[in-house]
């Protein structure tokens, strides 16, 4: 299962994503692929607009986004979380979103 957690005050302070969905074997898993696409696109959008807006660490089955220091980055991350929540509605056994 992929677990998505985040910390938020006025802005999102941290997003942590870890695990594998288990929907299918690695390389054919559409849920993992969707999560990777959503998160990678969001990170790339943020750093294209402001390369210092976030710090991120990506390892196999783990992503940590921190040091979110502006409203634009927080808004893009909120949109990312909404997309992941929509995915979780279709695949509740494979992805869980929590605060």
Tell me what percent of the residues of the chain surpass a pLDDT of 70.
99
Q: Beginning with the edge strand found earlier in the chain, give each strand of the sheet holding 55-59 in spatial order.
A: 55-59, 62-66, 12-18, 2-8, 95-98
- Structural domains for the chain: 2-98 (3.30.70.1490)
Q: Report pLDDT for 62.
A: 95
> In angstroms, rounded to a whole number, what is the distance separating the alpha carbons of residues 60 and 69?
26
> In angstroms, rounded to a whole number, what is the distance separating the alpha carbons of residues 56 and 91?
26
Q: Are 22 and 1 in contact, with CB atoms under 8 Å apart? A: yes
Its pTM stands at: 0.92
Q: Are 12 and 6 in contact, with CB atoms under 8 Å apart? A: yes
For range 36-55, the mean pLDDT = 96
């Amino acid at each position: 299962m992929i677990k998505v957690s985040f910390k938020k005050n006025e802005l999102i302070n941290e997003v942590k994503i870890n695990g594998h969905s288990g929907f299918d074997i690695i390389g054919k898993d559409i849920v993992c692929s969707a999560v990777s696409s959503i998160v990678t696109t969001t990170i790339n959008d943020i750093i294209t607009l402001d390369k210092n807006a976030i710090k991120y660490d990506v390892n196999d089955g783990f992503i940590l986004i921190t040091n979110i220091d502006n409203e634009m980055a927080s808004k893009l991350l909120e949109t990312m979380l909404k997309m992941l929540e929509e995915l979780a509605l279709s695949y509740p056994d494979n992805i869980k979103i929590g605060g």
